[in-house]
């Protein structure tokens, strides 16, 4: 398992991340799909000329590349079963084999660097079966360097193999990806990491508490290398026994029980207790931003338990978190949890911007505690209908408003929207195929599909519908219509449809412009909505509230054209 029998050597101390680097595919934890694919490929002789390894930092890309190079050159191979460590194997694992060339693309980005590879592939390997080129962070190569490599990568000599590694797979040209067999190395589960760290601690003769393992596994964020580095630091911090309290202090974390107590205080609406708790944690060395991040993490944990109870088996969570999290999930409603999550996300940004982080964090907790007493949107409507008095914490009520008509209504408390326009009356999406027009609105919609927003805006605001028939459109113009508008419409319709169109102009008459009709309809809906008994009751219950917009709950996102037209109209 280890590179050396002990941590000390003639070259000094070897950190755990290097000492316990995998030396065989059996040691490569968490990447079973990669191992199985390579095993079958080697067994059947289906060996690709190039491999692309991608994944986040510390999941084993470079290590896997060296293992593949070792497997390709193993005596009697290629094979993933490598029980004996030969001198060639040792040289490959230590990055000093003459036929396994490792290159860092971050410092070798140009065409000249790739030209050296192209020149070198012509020569057969000196000691090994294959000459293997391992290029780390391959996405750092320049565009010209990638292009120079294409031909060689597609048809390399039979004795040459390429192995690429990258953390930014989207930056690698598709022409390179199409010539490689790709492996996505996955993040390691916290449970797998805990088992690895426990095994390493045992090999190092170090006692470590389970909660300390959980903290390190969670802080590693799926990276074995990061986790081993933290374990190395924790061992040095705690000597022969690694305790959870010491790891928490090392990582700047607060005891999870304290985080739960803070959560209970704000969800109970006890702002004083919440402020006292965060001040106590701050005096103990806790960072305000980290405290609220941990609080947000616990809110997410409770929400997750509410929608997926089976998640309670998560090994990265302590027994206290699992037990009390289930209790909170059963008692606290989903609207209150999602509201707390939204407020915490916003609050974390405020903390980053303020010079006094503790002050900003306290204000976030006060808002959370105050909002805990507010009813959800459904509860608010029910209370109004049943005549139940509004809770004291909800006064004064915020404005009754909706966001602009550009998407589904957000989940927010103290806000209310009233739907009225039927979904069937909203403009329907139309095909871009040529079709007969029955009304000026059809013409405007067709122009919108052609992405001519300016012309569509002019049609809806400056033209009045009179008559539309095949090949002919008759309109009246507003006084502010620019010269040439009619000719422009006719010319573009001829170009787009392949048919001849005549646009006639009458001096007066016709319907109101389409934009005015839409506004009149919206005003009517707004007036009818305001007169609705439920809305009247809400406005009466919350003095000072007002309706700033009305939208249809069943409607989809407003078409881009309509939003752009409204924007252009406002600017004009």
- Report the greatest alpha carbon distance in the chain: 99
Per-residue pLDDT at 542 = 80
Confidence of residue 165 (pLDDT cuts 50, 70, 90): very high
Whole-angstrom Cα distance, residue 110 to residue 6? 41
Q: What is the mean pLDDT of residues 507-532?
A: 87
List of domains in the chain = 31-184 (3.40.50.300), 190-251 (1.10.8.60), 256-371 (1.20.272.10), 388-572 (no CATH)
DSSP for residue 424: G
Confidence of residue 561 (pLDDT cuts 50, 70, 90): very low
**What residues pair up with 61 in beta bridges, in sequence order?**
none
Lowest mean pLDDT among 258-272, 411-425, 449-463: 411-425
User: 3-state DSSP: the chain helix, strand, coil percent, rounded to 5?
Assistant: 55, 10, 40
Confidence of residue 567 (pLDDT cuts 50, 70, 90): very low
Lowest mean pLDDT among 41-55, 70-84, 238-252: 238-252
What crossing angle do the helices spanning 334-353 and 288-307 adopt, rounded to 10°? 160
pTM of the model: 0.56
Per-residue pLDDT at 77 = 75
User: Is a pLDDT exceeding 60 seen at residue 219?
Assistant: yes
Per-residue pLDDT at 388 = 59
- Average predicted confidence (pLDDT) for the chain: 81
Per-residue pLDDT at 226 = 87
Per-residue pLDDT at 160 = 93
Q: How far apart, in Å, do the first and last CA atoms of the chain sit?
A: 71
Length of the chain: 572
CA distances from 8 to 85, 110, 117, 350 (A): 21, 39, 37, 47
In what helix (H) or strand (E) does residue 256 lie, and over which residues does it extend? helix 256-267
User: Is a pLDDT exceeding 90 seen at residue 303?
Assistant: yes
Whole-angstrom Cα distance, residue 513 to residue 74? 79
Q: What is the mean pLDDT of residues 424-446?
A: 66
Per-residue pLDDT at 441 = 92
Greater pLDDT, 9 or 439: 439
Whole-angstrom Cα distance, residue 306 to residue 312? 10
Range with the largest mean pLDDT of 210-219, 387-396, 553-562: 210-219
Whole-angstrom Cα distance, residue 344 to residue 296? 6
Lowest mean pLDDT among 258-267, 268-277, 309-318, 415-424: 415-424
Q: Are 216 and 195 in contact (CB under 8 A)?
A: no
Per-residue pLDDT at 17 = 85
Lowest mean pLDDT among 102-111, 380-389, 411-420, 438-447: 411-420
Per-residue pLDDT at 532 = 85
Instruction: Name residue, tokens 């410092």.
Output: 107
User: Is a pLDDT exceeding 50 seen at residue 406?
Assistant: no
User: Is a pLDDT exceeding 90 seen at residue 401?
Assistant: no
Condensed to tens digits (0 to 9), the pLDDT of residues 136-159 reads: 999 999 999 999 999 899 889 999
DSSP for residue 193: H
Condensed to tens digits (0 to 9), the pLDDT of residues 474-505 reads: 999 998 888 889 889 988 998 888 888 888 88
Instruction: Name residue, tokens 């390997």.
Output: 125
Whole-angstrom Cα distance, residue 7 to residue 19? 7
Query: Token pair of 520, please?
Result: 């009149």
Lowest mean pLDDT among 46-50, 384-388, 406-410: 406-410
Whole-angstrom Cα distance, residue 79 to residue 353? 55
Range with the largest mean pLDDT of 211-215, 255-259, 538-542: 211-215
Whole-angstrom Cα distance, residue 478 to residue 490? 18
Condensed to tens digits (0 to 9), the pLDDT of residues 76-128 reads: 878 888 888 889 999 999 889 999 999 988 888 888 889 989 999 989 999 88
CA atoms within 13 A on the CB side of 454: 5
User: Is a pLDDT exceeding 80 seen at residue 442?
Assistant: yes
Alpha-carbon Rg of the chain, whole angstroms? Answer: 33
Query: Token pair of 379, please?
Result: 């509860």
Q: Are 181 and 146 in contact (CB under 8 A)?
A: no
**CB-CB neighbours of 414 under 10 Å:** 20
Greater pLDDT, 434 or 98: 98
DSSP string across 278-296: HHHHHHTT--HHHHHHHHH
CA distances from 89 to 67, 86, 480 (A): 9, 5, 82
**What residues pair up with 503 in beta bridges, in sequence order?**
473
In what helix (H) or strand (E) does residue 347 lie, and over which residues does it extend? helix 334-353
Query: Token pair of 27, please?
Result: 């040691």
User: Is a pLDDT exceeding 60 seen at residue 558?
Assistant: no
Q: Are 196 and 170 in contact (CB under 8 A)?
A: no
User: Is a pLDDT exceeding 60 seen at residue 432?
Assistant: no
CA distances from 236 to 4, 170, 240 (A): 19, 39, 8
Confidence of residue 21 (pLDDT cuts 50, 70, 90): confident
Whole-angstrom Cα distance, residue 204 to residue 5? 10
């Amino acid at each position: 398992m280890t590179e050396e029998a002990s941590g000390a050597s003639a070259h000094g101390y070897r950190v755990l991340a290097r000492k316990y680097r995998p030396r065989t595919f059996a040691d490569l934890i968490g990447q079973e799909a990669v191992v199985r694919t390579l095993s079958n490929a080697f067994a059947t002789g289906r060996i690709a000329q190039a491999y692309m390894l991608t994944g986040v930092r510390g999941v084993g890309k470079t290590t896997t590349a060296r293992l593949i190079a070792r497997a390709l050159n193993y005596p009697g191979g290629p094979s993933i079963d490598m029980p004996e460590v030969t001198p060639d194997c040792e040289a490959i694992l230590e990055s000093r084999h003459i036929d396994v060339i490792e290159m860092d693309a971050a410092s070798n980005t140009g065409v000249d660097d790739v030209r050296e590879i192209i020149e070198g592939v012509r020569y057969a390997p000196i000691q090994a079966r294959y000459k293997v080129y391992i290029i780390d962070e391959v996405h750092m190569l320049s565009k010209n360097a990638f292009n120079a490599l294409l031909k060689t990568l597609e048809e390399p000599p039979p004795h040459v193999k390429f192995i690429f590694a990258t953390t930014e797979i989207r930056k690698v040209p598709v022409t390179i990806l199409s010539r490689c067999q790709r492996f996505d190395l996955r993040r390691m589960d916290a449970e797998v990491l805990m088992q690895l760290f426990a095994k390493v601690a045992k090999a190092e003769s170090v006692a470590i508490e389970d909660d300390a393992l959980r903290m390190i596994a969670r802080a590693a964020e799926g990276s074995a290398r990061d986790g081993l580095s933290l374990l190395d630091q924790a061992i040095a911090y705690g000597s022969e026994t690694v305790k959870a309290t010491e790891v928490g202090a090392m990582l700047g974390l607060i005891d999870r029980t304290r985080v739960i107590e803070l959560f209970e205080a704000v969800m109970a609406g006890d702002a004083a207790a919440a402020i006292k708790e965060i001040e106590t944690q701050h005096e103990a060395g806790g960072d305000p931003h980290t405290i609220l991040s941990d609080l947000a993490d616990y809110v997410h944990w409770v929400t997750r338990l509410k929608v997926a109870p089976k998640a309670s088996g998560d090994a990265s969570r302590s027994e206290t978190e699992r037990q009390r999290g289930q209790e909170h999930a059963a008692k606290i409603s989903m609207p209150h949890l999602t509201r707390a999550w939204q407020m915490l996300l916003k609050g974390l940004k405020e903390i980053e911007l303020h010079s006094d982080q503790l002050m900003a964090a306290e204000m976030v907790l006060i808002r959370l505690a105050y909002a805990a007493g507010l009813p959800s949107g459904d509860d608010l409507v029910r209370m109004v209908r049943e005549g139940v008095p509004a809770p004291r914490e909800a006064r004064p009520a915020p404005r009754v408003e909706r966001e602009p008509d550009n998407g589904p209504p957000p989940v927010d408390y103290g806000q209310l929207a009233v739907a009225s326009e039927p979904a069937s009356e909203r403009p329907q999406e139309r095909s871009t195929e040529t079709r007969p027009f029955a009304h000026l609105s059809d013409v405007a919609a067709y122009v919108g599909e052609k992405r001519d927003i300016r012309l569509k805006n002019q049609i809806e605001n400056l033209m009045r519908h009179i008559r539309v028939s095949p090949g002919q459109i008759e309109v009246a113009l507003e006084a502010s219509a620019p010269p040439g508008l009619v000719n422009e419409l006719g010319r573009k319709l001829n170009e787009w449809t392949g048919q001849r169109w005549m646009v006639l102009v009458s001096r007066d008459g016709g319907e109101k412009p389409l934009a005015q009709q839409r506004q009149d309809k919206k005003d009517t809906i707004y007036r009818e909505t305001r007169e609705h008994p439920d809305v009247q009751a809400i406005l009466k219950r919350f003095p000072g509230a007002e309706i700033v917009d009305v939208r249809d709950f069943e409607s989809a996102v407003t078409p881009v054209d309509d939003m752009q037209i409204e924007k252009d109209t406002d600017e004009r």
